Amino acid sequence: MNKIFLYSLLFLFTITGCDSMFDDELPPHELVGENAITNETSAETALNGIFSNLQGYGTMSANYICDNEYRTGLLTGTYRGTFETDGLLGFKLTEEYSYVADPWELAYKMVNAANNFIYYVEKLSENLFGENRKTEMLAEAKFARAFGHAFLLRRYGYFWDINSPLGPIIRLEPSSISNNSMGRSSVKESYEKIFEDLDYAILHGPRFYSKYRSCATTAKAFKADILMNRGEEGDYAEAIRLANEVIASDEFGLEDKYGDIFANGYSSKELMFTRHIKTPPSMDDNVSSLFKMFGGATYKPTEMYFEILTQDDKRYEATFDSVMLGNGTAARKTQVWKKHYVTSGDCPMYYMRVAQMYLIKAEAMARTKASIKDCLDVLNVLRLRSGNTTFEAADYSSLSDVLEEVFRENVREIGMENGAIFYLAVRYTEGGRRKLKDMNPNFEHDDQLCFPIPKAELEHNFVVEQKPL
């Protein structure tokens, strides 16, 4: 029986987490039926299980970045062979690739774990929890469900086209035989359901207490990010409002120096959401970890990347380093992504950090016709922090020029951290031409912008519609 189908039948809360809060787990045989969650303690364990799907390798680690940035032409390397060169760079993805199936499978596992949690916790009395804790935990689970659905929308759905019927499958109930076969939701409905969950997480989520879990402020940051993808009337103004609230929060803040973000790692006050690694990988491990793929220079920047982040930029030194890799006569000095080179292998994922709120705010302001100076003032906060010269309004003749600078500043500031540059390259258009085409000439038409639904899903779900191939 196909693994995807199995995941829709089982109540899985697999713990693969990190610090002490992930170590207290219930035996697997107890995580079934109505006995799975009976009180606050067992609910905490199950909640940890949802977030443990953000694994330390593969889909939610190095591949979370490279599957996007290969397509922008900013990344090179051949660790996965034709999947990268033909499938990603060449925009010739097919439903047979295992690397197409793996993210689909893992994201729905996370969604189903969240659905099970919500289903069982909603049945429990408030008296079994501390003050407001039941509602807070439901908010965290709904954030996780939104995270999973947003990942699926942007990976497998036509996220750029609000009128398309080709969204992901939005699952809001625990999976069973009766509801295994489901069609796609429209893109419009997909965004609406994701925002419903994020709005609940914003309204009812806890204050920040762990970078491995969500809080109300983190939910605001992710909503601002996803609003930029949708880009409907009022979305940019709302993204600005949310970004301002995150920036003003006392729970997070910019590091004083750009390099401190990566030097401080999990302790950085700028890092809002990440996953942890229970057993950090080594350079010799055959895994798609940040440490091996980026820290070990398996994936390298292209010349286009260096045209944007030049050695004159003060962030260059914090982004790249030259280190000795290998043993004995095989040792060689290699340029690595310094931001992902942690000798222990325990590299944070930067799913979201505070600097992105400044970048989102500046872009949204330019798209809502703010003044050139006001847009640049937002970018200059990051320029000053990194020790670079500030942008001057007199050097820009239009808001189109400002938007181009925002794009380049995204590459310099958060390049190769969470795959965000791909979504920028998709939504940046001029005269109907996507910026992505200028970056990767292999891109020819919008049907190529998302992954196909995996073959295994199509074999067991008889109503879901494949995208045009």
Res. 24: pLDDT tops 70: no
Q: Could you tell me if residue 101 is left (phi over 0), alpha (psi between -120 and 50 degrees) or otherwise beta?
A: alpha
In this structure, the number of other CB atoms found within 10 A of the CB of residue 174 comes to 18
Per residue in 335-345, pLDDT (tens digit) is: 999 999 999 99
- Say which residues have a Cβ less than 8 Å from residue 441's Cβ, sequence separation at least 6: none
Residue 297 DSSP code: S
Residue 442 has which token pair? 């292999």
pLDDT at residue number 176 = 84
**What is the DSSP secondary-structure string of 368-405?**
TT--HHHHHHHHHHHHHHHTPPPP-GGG--SHHHHHHH
pLDDT at residue number 149 = 98
Res. 70: pLDDT tops 70: yes
d(C-alpha 376, C-alpha 378), whole Å: 5
Per residue in 222-254, pLDDT (tens digit) is: 999 999 999 999 999 999 999 999 999 999 999
Per residue in 381-425, pLDDT (tens digit) is: 999 999 999 999 999 999 999 999 999 999 999 999 999 999 999
Residue 368 has which token pair? 């809502």
Give how far Cα 306 sits from Cα of 74, 114, 242, 394, 409, Å: 9, 41, 32, 26, 13
Residue 100 has which token pair? 């197409």
pLDDT at residue number 36 = 80
Res. 272: pLDDT tops 60: yes
Kindly report which listed range (106-120, 142-156, 168-182, 422-436) carries the lowest average pLDDT score: 168-182
Strand partners, 324: 333
Res. 11: pLDDT tops 50: no
Question: Measuring CA to CA, which residue among 24, 16, 30 is closest to residue 45?
Answer: 24
Residue keyed to tokens 């039948």:
9
Give how far Cα 322 sits from Cα of 75, 76, 259, 303, 343, Å: 18, 18, 16, 17, 13
In the chain, what percentage of residues exceed pLDDT 90?
A: 88
Environment class of residue 95 by beta-carbon count within 10 Å: exposed (0-12), middle (13-18) or buried (19+)? middle
- Quick one: pLDDT band at residue 325, thresholds 50, 70, 90? confident
Kindly tell me the number of DSSP H helices and DSSP E strands found in the chain: 19, 8
In this structure, the number of other CB atoms found within 10 A of the CB of residue 195 comes to 19
The model's pTM: 0.93
Res. 27: pLDDT tops 90: no
Residue keyed to tokens 């779900």:
461
Residue 300 has which token pair? 């390298």
Question: What does pLDDT average to over the chain?
Answer: 92
pLDDT at residue number 8 = 39
Give how far Cα 360 sits from Cα of 223, 350, 353, 409, Å: 11, 16, 12, 11
Kindly report which listed range (52-56, 266-270, 324-328, 422-426) carries the lowest average pLDDT score: 324-328
d(C-alpha 226, C-alpha 63), whole Å: 20
d(C-alpha 212, C-alpha 135), whole Å: 19
- Quick one: pLDDT band at residue 29, thresholds 50, 70, 90? very low
Give how far Cα 119 sits from Cα of 125, 201, 213, 308, Å: 13, 16, 19, 48
Kindly report which listed range (324-328, 350-354, 362-366) carries the lowest average pLDDT score: 324-328
**CA-based diameter of the chain, in Å?**
67
Entry field: residues in the chain: 469
Strand partners, 352: 273
d(C-alpha 423, C-alpha 226), whole Å: 10
First-to-last CA distance in the chain? 26
Give how far Cα 429 sits from Cα of 227, 229, 435, Å: 17, 13, 6
pLDDT at residue number 328 = 77
- Quick one: pLDDT band at residue 35, thresholds 50, 70, 90? low
pLDDT at residue number 16 = 36
Give how far Cα 373 sits from Cα of 189, 217, 396, 398, 458, Å: 37, 28, 9, 11, 51
- HEC sequence for 255-278: CCCHHHHHHHHHHCCCEEECCCCC
